[in-house]
Amino acid sequence: MSFKIITIARTSEGREIPREKIVPGKEISVGRLSDNDVHLADLAVEPKHAVIRETEPGRLVVDSISGLGFGFDGRTVKHAELESAVGAELRFGSHRLKIGSDDGAISITVERVEALSDSSEEKDQQTVFTLRGLMPGKRGSAYVFLALILAAFLAWPIYTYASTRGEKIRPQGFHADKTWETGKLSKAHAELENDCQACHVDAFVAVRDDACEACHTNAPHERAAGLQRVALTGPGRPGPAAYDHAPADKLAAAHGGNDGLGDRITKFFKRTFNKPEGRCVDCHTEHEGAGPMPATQQAFCADCHNGLQGRLQSAGLQSSIGSASDFGTQHPQFRPLILAGFDTEHPVPFAKRDARMGGNPLLGWRMQRAVLDRPLQMPDGLKFTHAQHLSKTNGVAEMWRNVSPGQGAGMDCENCHKVDSSGTRYQPVRMETACQSCHSLGLQTIGGTVRQLPHGQPAQVIADIRAFYGSGGSFRPTGLPIARYTRARPGDVNAERRSADLARAAALLPGKGDALIRATFAPGGVCGECHTVSMGGPAEVRIAPVAQPMRYLRNGWFDHRPHMNLDVRASDGNRRWGCRDCHAAEKSNNANDLLLPTVANCQQCHVGEKGAHSVQLVRSGTVSSCAMCHDYHADEGAPWVLKRGSRKKAPANQVAMLQVRWR
């Protein structure tokens, strides 16, 4: 058995709109609550007013369950019995329910026949339960609120901007144009909180690159202008210098997608609304919060560098840059900038290459890029083998134990390689501090002080040797018997004999000096042991130039600080230091070996931003995004997060893992 409920609504023109629903069962409820089967939105109806039950086929009973009656045949009753085939009418407040029969189902037609209140016949159920009649109209309210919004958030900010235009620093307090801010400035730009005009130079004009370059520059006069914006008194703090990442044509080709309809529409709107492509603020967004500016997301780099070569070639541009999407999965091999020989046709004097005097050791050297896909050779002017010096059993180790007792069975990397003051790079190896303890340049001892030959000055070495043999010094000339040189019998004859012997020996000293000079610069000699020497005569000595590049990856950055204390353990549990894990120095028997790690070496610990693990890792590696090693605006090559002043501790996201266990 079921009930067929037909609800009739009327439009403003009087047209009826019937809505039907079937309620299965033998009982339905009537009331003001919406969960009733017959919902009557009328205050004259109780929430749960009555129930209609079918006791026998075609016979209905209506009972009031609220204590309030209902209309039946012109009377108000609380109980009624009726036949559906005969039909009847029930009244609940302003609604009439017609009972009838329709194809075996009991039909109940619900229709409102009176107004919901006596004040107006036009009121309907949507207005009688609201405050619509007591509030202003929607249209009028909309106009009022629109005027208030325009005044508070457009006219007032424009007035504030115009009245403070030209001021270097705004006074403290609320400024109406602050209502346009989407968030707080980052810590890097927090000092510009009251200097909106530093970036927003013109009203309703997007921030231009020249506003950024006013502070982010290396030009002294432009830097001075930037300092005035940051601090009117005292020393300012200009931002890091910014340079173009690549030529504009290559940047445009690297972005790709210039021919699609969507790209053309986007560019059209940017041109129309004065927002040109390639601005600084396209990537460096501000007003994102008061914290530090987040590192550049890897996706920003991968958008261009993933498949970069193909897009550049399609645009007719040549580039040797490989495609990169994630360091752990796709990254080109390192291409270090190495020495390619000294320019002998235009040699640079040693005085200009001497770092001790402020010179540049790389002056006069040709440089070239090489792919680190195989062991590389780089002649740097020195004869030196790492394997020989790192051995624990040869003569070098024995000499080390004698010279530096208690400092290990042999030499280690840190005995010669010293970090600079920042801890980021290593200083050039100096003869005086790293080599001279074993490779002595001593000539003679005078009163307990060893007279040293000057390193790096061959002409001075020659002069010192000749001066030593020319004067004879305080030493016995070679070949003169000790007794006759130190003691002599009394008498004039013996004194004359001694004087003659000394004169004869002194006459031979210059020849011995030339012999010592040749021996000093000969292969295996004091200088020739480590340097390549050519001699054009007794007084002409040419030593091959020496250069020690301290940086090979010009477009990347490596910080030694987080790698110094790596606890890397072998399969037997013994600790292994990072130097020998990355630089295979113990196996190098060639002075020209370039001991740089490859991408595969780095990928054993650094797994990219997405955490793709190398097969050699047992535990999780270091998540390494592009920004860890690369800076989009490479001035000195160091990412800005690494160059933030002289902090005692490296940034948390730059510290490499401290515990790694290898298979």
Q: Which range scores top for mean pLDDT: 70-84, 187-201, 547-561?
A: 70-84
Least confident piece of the model among 58-62, 70-74, 533-537: 533-537
Question: Are 60 and 99 spatial neighbours (Cβ–Cβ below 8 Å)?
Answer: yes
pLDDT of residue 623: 82
pLDDT of residue 119: 44
The CA distance from 408 to 387, in Å, is 16
> Which residues have a Cβ under 8 Å from the Cβ of 319 and sit 6 or more positions away?
250, 308, 309, 312
Q: pLDDT (tens digit, 9 = 90+) per residue, 326-349? A: 888 889 999 999 999 998 888 888
Question: Are 630 and 301 spatial neighbours (Cβ–Cβ below 8 Å)?
Answer: yes
Mean pLDDT of 136-154: 90
3-state DSSP call for residue 369?
strand
Predicted confidence (pLDDT) at residue 639 exceeds the cutoff of 70? no
pLDDT of residue 572: 61
Query: Residue 63: in which H helix or E strand, if any?
Result: strand 59-64
Nearest CA to 593 out of 372, 360, 362 is that of 372
Q: pLDDT (tens digit, 9 = 90+) per residue, 161-177? A: 888 777 767 777 788 88
Predicted confidence (pLDDT) at residue 483 exceeds the cutoff of 60? no
pLDDT of residue 31: 94
Mean pLDDT of 492-515: 59
Gyration radius of the chain over CA positions: 47
The CA distance from 634 to 252, in Å, is 19
Q: pLDDT (tens digit, 9 = 90+) per residue, 190-249? A: 878 777 878 888 877 888 888 887 777 655 444 443 333 333 233 333 455 566 677 777
Confidence of residue 538 (pLDDT cuts 50, 70, 90): low
The CA distance from 204 to 227, in Å, is 25
Residue the block writes with tokens 């305080």: 474
> What does DSSP assign to residue 657?
P
pLDDT of residue 242: 63
Predicted confidence (pLDDT) at residue 461 exceeds the cutoff of 60? yes
Query: Residue 265: in which H helix or E strand, if any?
Result: helix 261-272
Predicted confidence (pLDDT) at residue 146 exceeds the cutoff of 90? yes
What is the percent of the chain with per-residue pLDDT over 90, rounded to a whole number? 19
Mean pLDDT of 237-262: 68
Positive or negative: CA dihedral 28, 34, 39, 42: positive
The CA distance from 29 to 50, in Å, is 6
| β-bridge mates for residue 662, sequence order | 617
Predicted confidence (pLDDT) at residue 466 exceeds the cutoff of 50? yes
Residue of higher predicted confidence among 507 and 552 = 552
Mean pLDDT of 458-473: 76
Confidence of residue 181 (pLDDT cuts 50, 70, 90): confident
Predicted confidence (pLDDT) at residue 527 exceeds the cutoff of 70? yes
> Which residues have a Cβ under 8 Å from the Cβ of 530 and sit 6 or more positions away?
382, 383, 384, 435, 439
The CA distance from 608 to 514, in Å, is 62
pLDDT of residue 503: 53
The CA distance from 208 to 218, in Å, is 18
Residue the block writes with tokens 């396209």: 282
> What does DSSP assign to residue 561?
G
Question: Are 84 and 60 spatial neighbours (Cβ–Cβ below 8 Å)?
Answer: yes
Average predicted confidence (pLDDT) for the chain: 77
pLDDT of residue 30: 94
Mean pLDDT of 184-191: 84
Least confident piece of the model among 2-16, 130-144, 276-290, 487-501: 487-501
pLDDT of residue 261: 78
Least confident piece of the model among 435-439, 477-481, 591-595: 477-481
Give the angle subtended at the CA of 424 by the CAs of 423 and 427, to the nearest 5°.
80
Provide the H-helix boundaries in 481-598: 482-486, 492-521, 578-582
DSSP calls for 189-253: GGGGTT-GGGT--STT-PPPHHHHHTTS---HHHHHHHHHHH-SSS----------SS-HHHHHH
Least confident piece of the model among 16-20, 254-258, 521-525, 600-604: 254-258
Cβ-based neighbour number of residue 461 at 10 Å:
21
pLDDT of residue 236: 35
pLDDT of residue 499: 55
Confidence of residue 147 (pLDDT cuts 50, 70, 90): very high
Mean pLDDT of 287-307: 82
Instruction: Say if strands 105-112 and 2-10 run parallel, antiparallel, or are unpaired.
Output: parallel
